[in-house]
Amino acid sequence: MIGTIIRKEIAANLLSYKFFIVILLASVLIFTSLFVMVKDFKGRQADYQLNKPKSGEPIAIIPPNPLSIFAKGLDDAMTRSFGVGSTGIDVQAGQQSGNIVFSFFPAPDFLYVVKVVLSLVALLFGFDQISREKEAGTLKLMFANSLSRASVLAGKWLGNFLSLAVPFLLVTMLGIVLMNLDSAVHLSASGLGRLAFLLATSLIYIGLFLSLGVFISTVTRRSASSLVVLLFIWSLLVFVLPNLGTLLARQFVDVPSVRSLSEKRQQIWTREVLLAYPNWDSWDERIKTMNAEFDQMEEDYRNKFDRLVQASKTICRLSPAASFVYASTEIAGTGIGEEGLFKREVIRYKNRTLEDVRSGIKAHPAFAYRYRSIGRVLAEGGLFDMAWLLVFNIVFFAASYVAVVRYDVR
Amino acid sequence: MLKTIIKKELLENIFSYRFPLFALISILLIPLGMYVNQIDHNKRVRDYNEQQRLANEAVTAISMQDLMAGTVAVKGFRPPALLSVFAQGFESALPRYYEFSQDGFKPGESSSGDESILSVQGKVDFVFLVQMVISLIGLLFAADTISGEKESGTLRAMLSNRLPRDTILVGKLFGGTLALWIPLILAFLLGTVMLLLGSFPFFSGDTPVRLLIIFLSTSFFVLIYYTIGMMISTSSSKTRTSVVAILLIWAFFQLIIPKLSDMLGALVYPVRTETEVSLEKSLLAKSIDNETAKELGRQFDLIFSRAREGAADDLASPERKKWDAVKGDIEQRARERKSQQISAIDETYRQQKRRQQNLAVNLSLVSPSAAFARFIADVCGTGEIERTKYIDAVKAHQKALENELFSKVKRTVMISPRGGTSLGFSVQPVDFQKLPKFSVAPSSLAETFKENWRSLISLAFWLIAPFAVAYVRFLRYDVR
């Protein structure tokens, strides 16, 4: 019986004008986003080619990540060049890729399109599932047959999910194929694997909003009011909660400002250099202690900052949209976790280079960074976020089941 | 009669189930957004003051040796814009400082650098909320003004009275907008009070006027979106259809047009990246310097080859006098050539970029929401004007420093034709205390209006045209 309902839902969608407009909209957006982001990626790649260190130069810089086309995340922060100097790491910001004019509106990556627009589209598919049939009077007829309410709900969900997911996947894959025709963008096999995970996460996310739509449609009487309520919830989940998290976290965790850091730095410098001025013989030793203390300070700051980030992540996860952003940026290798590891690697590189300088080696090895494997990404939080999205999905679906069972079809 | 309709519409909206939702959202969101941004702003001001102090200390520590070695770099910081609390605009994308050296200036880190981790979720400011959330709510409130009354049959009853259709339309427009406006003004006031409690310098300069402009244009913006919603409502006979149409139009205006215009701009007028251009400039400078050094070496040999021993160091010898003249001449020509060619590169690049930007900006103005965002960003000092002024100030400062600092040490590099390089210096005293200070002139309100006339026209168009369409459609509306 479920098969019949699924078929009916798909046919109803295919025949409605809403379906075509919505799919057209989503396709235009996805293609636009891929196009813009490929252009941005190429600009950053050209910058990398110019900024690339000559062999032997102690500069840590990595090429832009091709998956940043889909989820830009922190890729801009990671592809800066970190030069190693005698007193620490010198962050070069000269890598002003392309145009800051375009930073006026948020980066339109695939992630943003799914997060904002496709969630809205999923709501549009879900908002009138029950209330419309009730308004049209067909719900009565359906329930008059020997048909369990659960299978009606499941059939409706699956039918709508398929009519949403299939065009979405087709359009995205077409976009990826077209993108691969461009020789500048090269996705490796593992990159494609990550992309598959990214798409899977997007599907879970879209399904979640579909469930939410179905749920609200079972608790409201009219489809127009269900849509309005849904839009309010949508704006809360997508825009408001993710930003609230950072604010709240700031209240709980205190991070030192530039001022206190620079004061401490100065104190150390005064103690080690100014006060010890005539004492030349222990010079090497002193520079070493100074560097070690600076590192300690950086480490402290980094730890505090990590705590702030963790707190804000925990709070933000109240919203599935935030969870989705965390999961997909980590999968793409542009997330917060990846950035932390990268920074640590840069610090390690700096220490190694300074050791080399002290022991008189002139040519420094080139910096290399290996992204975490997808297995590690999933183990270190990616899977949790995906599961968290699934939990939201199940909760909304269960809630709509309860509501449908009690639904008054008259 | 108009009054009655306005009153009816206002009350109907206020007592509807969506009004408390809207009021809650705006009263919660808007002050919250301001509060978050204020904390952020205060932190940036503290950092700015500290870094300014450090930079000043660094300037007093410069020595003549550094200057001769050519390693002096002076930093000029841009103060955070006060009203970025309302509109972030370019605030976090602009470099926090520029570094000036004798080879020119280069941008420092943007403030989105280190803390970018926290902005993975995107930033929310007042303008963003109005643009994304309030606009959607305005459209939704308007979605059933006409079609809803038709569905419930009250439109027929209303029109059977002696009541012209335009009165109904105008009454509904103002009543509905008023209902939206009340929570908005509450939220705005609440937010401002919160800012004041957080020691926001409310009465400094023309800040109150700017706040008033922000509020008035926001009200205007709500009116525009309500009118667009009404236009859609008069064009469809069912509320559900109009709601779907509204969502599409919303997505088109807020998400597609701004990005599509950037894309078209980049497609029609592609430009190189900043790094490529600065590389080209430094290559050019190097090659000219090299040529000059070779030329100097050749002339030196020519003049002093047959002179007596020590003539080069004797200021009174005729060869030395001739050499001084020749050297001054060659260096002068090289300087002129260098600055001419570099400014030619700069100028072409600037023009290319300007063309691309103009196209992107003008196309984006098709959307009232982009026009609104650009205008408010300029009022808040974080928009296009500020960006242009910043870079102009940087250029002027580079010139001033060149006069006061970098030109005081002249390095003469000579490459002799027989091989070998020699380096000579001529030094004039520099007063490091009296170096010019970097500052960006704030833009006046008159400038803001002058630069934004296109945005304002776009906003006016989106008010008048939808109203005209709604009026015509409503006159022909079949109420049965």
Q: What is the pLDDT of residues A37-77, one digit of tens each?
A: 888 888 888 888 887 887 777 888 888 899 989 988 888 77
Higher confidence at residue A100 or residue A284? Answer: A284
Across the range A209-236, mean pLDDT stands at 86
Shortest Cα distance, chain B CAs vs residue A328, angstroms: 11
Across the range B380-389, mean pLDDT stands at 87
Interface of B with A in 242-301 (CB under 8 A): 243-244, 247-248, 251-252, 255-256, 258-260, 262-263, 266, 271, 273-276, 278-279
Q: How many CB pairs under 8 A join A and B?
A: 197
CB-nearest partner of A325 from B47, B120, B275: B120
Least confident of A31-35, B1-5, B61-65, B345-349: B61-65
Residue B122 has pLDDT above 80, yes or no: no
Across the range B70-78, mean pLDDT stands at 82
CB contact under 8 A, B120 and A329: yes
Give the per-residue pLDDT at B116.
54
Are B155 and A257 spatial neighbours (Cβ–Cβ below 8 Å)?
no
Least confident of A87-91, B312-316, B341-345, B399-403: A87-91
Of the pLDDT bands very low, low, confident and very high (cuts 50, 70, 90), residue B142 is confident
Interface of A with B in 76-135 (CB under 8 A): 76-77, 80, 91, 93-106, 108, 116-117, 120, 124, 128
H helices present in B365-452, as ranges: 368-379, 384-404, 445-451
Q: Name every chain A residue with its beta carbon within 8 A of the beta carbon of B375.
A: none
Question: Vertex A32, ends A29 and A36: CA angle to 5°?
Answer: 140
pTM of the model as a whole? 0.82
Across the range B62-68, mean pLDDT stands at 77
Rounded Cα distance between A74 and A334, Å, is: 5
Radius of gyration of chain B (CA): 31
Residue A125 has pLDDT above 80, yes or no: yes
CB-nearest partner of B243 from A120, A224, A244: A224
Least confident of A101-105, A322-326, A347-351, B177-181: A101-105
CB contact under 8 A, B275 and A102: no
Beta-carbon contacts of residue A400 (< 8 Å; ≥ 6 apart): A153, A211, A214, A215, A217, A218
> By the CB < 8 Å criterion, does B182 face chain A?
no
Give the per-residue pLDDT at A203.
96
Interface test with A, best of B19, B133, B259 (most A CBs within 10 A): B259
Give the per-residue pLDDT at A162.
94
Which segment, A20-24, B91-95, B227-231, B291-295, is predicted with the most confidence on average?
B227-231
Residue A229 has pLDDT above 80, yes or no: yes
Rounded Cα distance between A255 and A250, Å, is: 8
Rounded Cα distance between A403 and A131, Å, is: 12
Nearest Cα to Cα of residue B274 among A93, A52, A61: A93
Higher confidence at residue A88 or residue B32? Answer: B32
> By the CB < 8 Å criterion, does A308 face chain B?
yes
Taking only the tens place, the pLDDT of each residue in B414-430 is: 787 777 777 777 777 77
Residue A257 has pLDDT above 80, yes or no: no
Percent of chain B clearing pLDDT 70 (strictly above)? 97
Nearest CA in chain B to A238: B121
Rounded Cα distance between B399 and A401, Å, is: 72
Taking only the tens place, the pLDDT of each residue in A300-329 is: 887 888 888 888 888 888 899 999 999 999
CB-nearest partner of A224 from B144, B263, B266: B144
> By the CB < 8 Å criterion, does A259 face chain B?
yes
Query: Collapsing DSSP states into helix, strand and coil, what is residue B411?
Result: strand
Shortest Cα distance, chain A CAs vs residue B262, angstroms: 7
Rounded Cα distance between B78 and B110, Å, is: 11
Are B107 and A298 spatial neighbours (Cβ–Cβ below 8 Å)?
no
Nearest CA in chain A to B239: A224
Interface of A with B in 341-400 (CB under 8 A): none
Residue A107 has pLDDT above 70, yes or no: no
The residue length of chain B stands at: 480
Across the range B119-128, mean pLDDT stands at 70
Give the per-residue pLDDT at A209.
95
CB-nearest partner of A35 from B117, B258, B263: B263
Q: Name every chain A residue with its beta carbon within 8 A of the beta carbon of B143.
A: 224
Residue reference for tokens 């952020």? B40
Are B296 and B265 spatial neighbours (Cβ–Cβ below 8 Å)?
no
Give the per-residue pLDDT at A155.
93
Mean pLDDT of chain B: 84
Residue reference for tokens 């700096």? A350
> By the CB < 8 Å criterion, does B447 face chain A?
no
Give the per-residue pLDDT at A97.
43
Of the pLDDT bands very low, low, confident and very high (cuts 50, 70, 90), residue A96 is very low
Are A290 and A270 spatial neighbours (Cβ–Cβ below 8 Å)?
no
Rounded Cα distance between A116 and B347, Å, is: 40
Give the per-residue pLDDT at B466.
94
A320-332 helix and A241-252 helix, angle to the nearest 10 degrees: 80
CB contact under 8 A, A325 and B32: no
Of the pLDDT bands very low, low, confident and very high (cuts 50, 70, 90), residue A98 is very low
Which segment, A305-309, B81-85, B406-410, is predicted with the most confidence on average?
B81-85
Shortest Cα distance, chain A CAs vs residue B254, angstroms: 10
Which segment, A190-199, A252-261, B129-138, B337-346, is predicted with the most confidence on average?
A190-199
Residue B279 has pLDDT above 90, yes or no: no
Of the pLDDT bands very low, low, confident and very high (cuts 50, 70, 90), residue A103 is low
